[in-house]
């Protein structure tokens, strides 16, 4: 990413050509696997990027909330809310309105939540049963997928299939294990639903760190999100290379001394995410020896063992977790060869409900 | 904090009576110390809260960015940007416009940044020299405060005094040490400036975890921020009690199994901050045995060793770092005895530039 002159910092830059290459590469990967690509839009939250993903062959979009679905319904008529929603009357009314604009599928991982959903939306949305493939967050044991599916069907909901998030891919060297777990669990969950007498159209999985290892035939659709931008976590997991990073935060050097540089891009710009295995709070592009030691809200404290950059100069930092960085911004500056060529609104920023 | 029925989750609640009590308590503390209180508005970013702090006797507000100053100039005519700004022509023009609405002071920690500031604002704003009291972020050694002050004065800037942020108070048991360091460093820095022939009107310090230990006479003004709400970090540092917590994030139980509960309030609501010494990613109010083990963007994974709460019920979580949680929200719901009585816009959300 070439940083233009004269930016008002802190800000987020997206290099258009790298973004397009990432979109195309994952589209090819899904095609090679014989799976549909349904990118997770929570990463970018931008209509302009969703449109590019759909133009490159995505079968629809994944979102995490009803509010995100409401935003992306402007450009997409096939939405999967990959989340075990608890639906009350108000959320139900929003889902029914959404279902008039798009095909809507919703995650479910308990009989109770399926019944609450059915009570408020009837059969206007279909459900996909969430199963746990090793991330131990939401999702049932695959042996119980049939039980949840039957409860949903009895409540009157169309059952589309099963999904999992192999989020345990977010640890060094775990991509292949997570992909193998995903394949095994989706297969067992699909069997559990079929054994209960229901069809399974969808076996949905995928994450950026496991995408290279996804087992062909095990998934009918993939839901990676971060791949559009890459980030410091993906760099350290080996699931992208520096040249694949499409988004950086740009900060100005506001203070420096000895081997320390302070940038005006802190946790209110980069996000505070830091897994235990990460080397810092982000990666300084082009300066592999620099380490982002600490973030305050408006300061990044960077250990800089080489010649220090000038006060007032700009430094590009790759955020650890790009989804949270994007959600802190109102807009992304789109660049091409060091020029700002467009500004994209983060249309679904804060769309948490 | 009593959680009202029928909330749309996730959301942030502020209990008005607790907020008012916190504002009054810190006002008393500053008075006891004979210091002015200049609360840091980056914590709350709300005009309504700033107005209450000023009504309780605050001498002005502290902010971190020019953009925050622009927001709070609507209700306050005495603003300190406690940050070593790097000022170019555009930021300079904004500072000059601001200086027509309010008295503006700006942090400085190098001759170069003082000269850049003077080049673009003339003498429209005064500077306060930042010194490092042990947090090792920005700020010079106190022995060098006079050098920076003289450079600023030669560039034509009024020099108001010295400031430090004793941020090393953010570790268990460190409040008193940080306060002692703050006192020593502000005294030495003031001597350094006086020895250079310049007057010192302001000796500014303060942080919420060190406020109870602030050395009387060492500071002329205090800049704590978090005290208005409290948060999980302050609870674990012992600088507030559960009854002092004025802000919680409310999530709905969307999934549960064995000893695990999933809430719909993740890192896009609570923020991902987690210092190494914290017991988790937040505190579950009223359930001390529950631990927020992990945050995804839209999931809090809570270890819940007792009887699990019902699916669809709400749970109040105290964020680890309230400043970042507030900055993720568009509004705060104000409650009184379990009723939502008002909604305050997070007017300075995202005001990072």
Site of tokens 């003289």:
B150
Distance from CA of B9 to the nearest CA of A (A): 6
SS (H, E, C) B140-189: ECHHHHHHHHHHHHHHCCCEEEEECCCHHHCCCCCHHHHHHHHHHHHHHH
Q: Which two tokens stand for residue A115?
A: 């019944």
In a 13 Å sphere around the CA of B346, the CA atoms on its Cβ side amount to: 23
* End-to-end C-alpha distance for chain A, whole angstroms: 34
Interface touch A113/B260, C-beta < 8 Å: no
| Residue of chain A minimizing CA distance to B266 | A352
CA distance A44 to A103: 21
Expressed in angstroms, the distance from the first to the final Cα of chain B is 34
Q: Identify from A108, A109, A255, A296 which residue to disrupt to test chain B contact, counting B C-beta atoms within 10 A and taking the largest count.
A: A255
Evaluate if residue B117 carries a pLDDT over 90: yes
**Rounded CA separation A346/B349 (Å):** 14
The residue of chain B nearest to residue A84, with distances taken between CA atoms, is B254
Chain centroid to Cα B100, Å, comes to: 26
Distance in Å, alpha carbon of B137 to nearest chain A alpha carbon: 6
Q: Return d(Cα B32, Cα B29) in angstroms, integer.
A: 5
- Inter-chain touch B137–A84, beta carbons under 8 Å: no
Q: Looking at beta carbons, which pairs linking B24-27 to residues 24 or more positions away fall under 8 Å?
A: B24/B56, B25/B227, B26/B211, B26/B222, B26/B224, B26/B227, B26/B228, B27/B53, B27/B56, B27/B57, B27/B58
Position of tokens 């602030």? Answer: B214
By three-state DSSP, how is residue B336 classified? strand
Helix (H) or strand (E) holding A221: strand A221-222
Neighbours of A31 (CB within 10 A): 12
Q: pLDDT tens, A237-293?
A: 999 999 999 999 999 999 999 999 999 999 999 999 999 999 999 999 899 999 999
CB contact under 8 A, B167 and A296: yes
> What is the distance of C-alpha A81 from the center of its chain?
12
Sequence-distant (≥ 6) Cβ neighbours of residue A188 within 8 angstroms: A142, A143, A145
Among the listed residues B70, B15, B24, the one whose alpha carbon sits nearest the alpha carbon of residue B47: B70
Please state, in angstroms and as integers, the Cα–Cα distance from residue B135 to each residue in A9, B82, B116, B169, B178, following that order. Answer: 24, 15, 25, 8, 9
Q: How much is the pLDDT for B296?
A: 98
pLDDT tens readout for residues B177-227: 999 999 999 999 999 999 999 999 999 999 999 999 999 999 999 999 999
- 3-state SS, residue B34: coil
Task: Tell me the pLDDT band of B143, cut-offs 50, 70 and 90.
Answer: very high
Q: Do B328 and A350 touch (CB under 8 A)?
A: yes
Could you say which of B113, B254, B264 has the minimum Cβ distance to residue A311? B113
B62-74: per-residue pLDDT in tens? 999 999 999 999 9
Chain B nearest CA to A197, separation (Å): 25
The pLDDT, as a whole number, for residue B326 is 98
Distance CA B21, CA A281 (A): 36
Tokens of B253: 């139980």
Is the predicted pLDDT of residue A5 greater than 90, yes or no?
yes
- The span from the CA of B333 to the CA of B132, in Å, is 37
Residue in A42, A110, A330 nearest the CB of B297: A42
Instruction: Provide the β-strand partners of residue B291.
Output: B303
Q: Which of B64, B88, B91 sits opposite A298 (nearest CB)?
A: B64
Specify the 3-state DSSP secondary structure of A296.
Answer: coil
Q: What is the pLDDT of residues B302-335, one digit of tens each?
A: 999 999 999 999 999 999 999 999 999 999 999 9
State how far the Cα of A281 lies from the Cα of A327, in Å rounded to an integer.
17
Q: Rounded to an integer, what distance in angstroms lies between the CA atom of residue A259 and that of residue A170?
A: 31
State the Cα–Cα distance between residues A315 and A342, nearest whole angstrom: 21
Question: Which residue reads 């940080």 in tokens?
Answer: B178
pLDDT band at B1 (very low <50, low <70, confident <90, very high): confident
Q: What is the mean pLDDT of chain A?
A: 97
Test the A interface: residue of B297, B302, B313 with most A CBs within 10 Å:
B297
Residues contacting A68, CB < 8 A, separation 6+: A41, A42, A45, A81, A348, A351
Q: CA A48 to CA A332: how far, in whole Å? A: 11
Query: Cα distance from B221 to chain A (closest Cα, Å)?
Result: 21
Q: Do B138 and A255 touch (CB under 8 A)?
A: yes
Q: Which residue of A lies nearest to B254 if distances are taken between CA atoms?
A: A86
* Neighbour tally for B5: CB within 10 Å: 7
Sequence-distant (≥ 6) Cβ neighbours of residue A339 within 8 angstroms: A4
Cβ A312–B88 below 8 Å, yes or no?
Answer: yes
Q: Could you tell me whether strands B11-15 and B202-205 are parallel, antiparallel, or unpaired per DSSP bridges?
A: unpaired
Cα gap B14→A163, rounded to integer Å? 37
H or E element at residue B13 = strand B11-15
pLDDT digits 0-9 by tens, A99-152: 999 999 999 999 999 999 999 999 999 999 999 999 999 999 999 999 999 999
User: Has residue A1 got a pLDDT over 90?
Assistant: no
pLDDT surpassing 90 at residue B49: yes
Tell me the mean pLDDT in the region A322-329.
98
* Percent of chain B whose pLDDT exceeds 90: 99
Kindly list the residues from chain A whose CB atom is less than 8 angstroms away from the CB atom of residue B294: 137
Contact A42 B321 (CB under 8 A): no
ipTM, interface predicted TM-score of the complex = 0.97
B323: left (phi over 0), alpha (psi -120 to 50) or beta: alpha
Q: Which helix (H) or strand (E) holds B12?
A: strand B11-15
What's the pTM value of the predicted model, to 2 decimals? Answer: 0.98
C-beta separation of A232 from A318 below 8 A = yes
Six-digit token string for B37: 């209180």
What residues of B are in contact with residue A83 (Cβ under 8 Å)? Answer: 254, 264, 298
| Whole-number Å distance between alpha carbons of B3 and B181 | 41
Which of A37, A89, A71 has its CA nearest to residue A214? A37
Question: What would the pLDDT profile of A35-89 be if each residue is shown by its tens digit?
Answer: 999 999 999 999 999 999 999 999 999 999 999 999 999 999 999 999 999 999 9
* Peptide bond before residue B10 is cis, with ω within 30 degrees of 0: yes
Angle between helices A145-154 and A175-195 (to 10 degrees): 50
Please give the average per-residue pLDDT across B3-23, as a whole number: 97
């Amino acid at each position: 990413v070439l940083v233009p002159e004269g930016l008002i910092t802190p800000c987020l830059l997206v290099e258009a050509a790298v973004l397009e290459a990432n979109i195309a590469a994952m589209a090819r990967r899904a095609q090679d696997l014989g799976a549909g690509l349904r990118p997770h839009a929570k990463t970018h939250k931008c209509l302009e990027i969703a449109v590019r993903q759909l133009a490159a062959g995505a079968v629809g979009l994944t979102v995490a909330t009803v509010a995100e679905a409401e935003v992306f319904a402007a450009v997409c008529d096939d939405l999967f809310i990959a989340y075990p929603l608890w639906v009350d009357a108000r959320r139900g009314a929003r889902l029914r309105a959404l279902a008039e604009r798009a095909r809507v599928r919703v995650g479910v991982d308990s009989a109770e939540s399926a019944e609450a959903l059915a009570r408020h939306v009837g059969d206007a949305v279909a459900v996909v049963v969430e199963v746990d493939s090793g991330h131990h967050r939401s999702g049932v044991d695959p042996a119980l997928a049939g039980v949840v599916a039957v409860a949903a069907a009895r409540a009157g909901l169309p059952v589309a299939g099963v999904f999992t998030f192999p989020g345990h891919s977010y640890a060094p060297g775990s991509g292949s294990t997570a992909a193998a777990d995903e394949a095994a669990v989706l297969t067992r969950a699909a069997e559990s639903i079929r054994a209960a007498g229901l069809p399974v159209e969808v076996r949905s999985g995928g994450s950026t760190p496991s995408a290279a290892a996804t087992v062909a035939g095990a998934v009918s659709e993939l839901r990676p999100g971060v791949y559009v931008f890459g980030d410091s976590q993906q760099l350290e997991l080996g699931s992208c290379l520096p040249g694949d990073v499409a988004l950086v935060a740009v900060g100005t050097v506001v203070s420096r001394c000895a081997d320390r540089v302070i940038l005006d891009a802190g946790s209110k710009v980069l996000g505070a995410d830091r897994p235990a295995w990460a080397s810092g709070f982000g990666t300084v592009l082009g300066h592999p020896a620099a380490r982002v030691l600490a973030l305050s809200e408006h300061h990044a404290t960077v250990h800089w063992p080489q010649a220090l950059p000038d006060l007032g100069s700009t430094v590009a930092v790759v955020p650890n977790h790009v989804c949270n960085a994007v959600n802190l911004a109102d807009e992304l500056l789109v660049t091409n060869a060091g020029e700002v060529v467009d500004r994209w609104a983060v249309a679904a920023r804060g769309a948490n409900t």
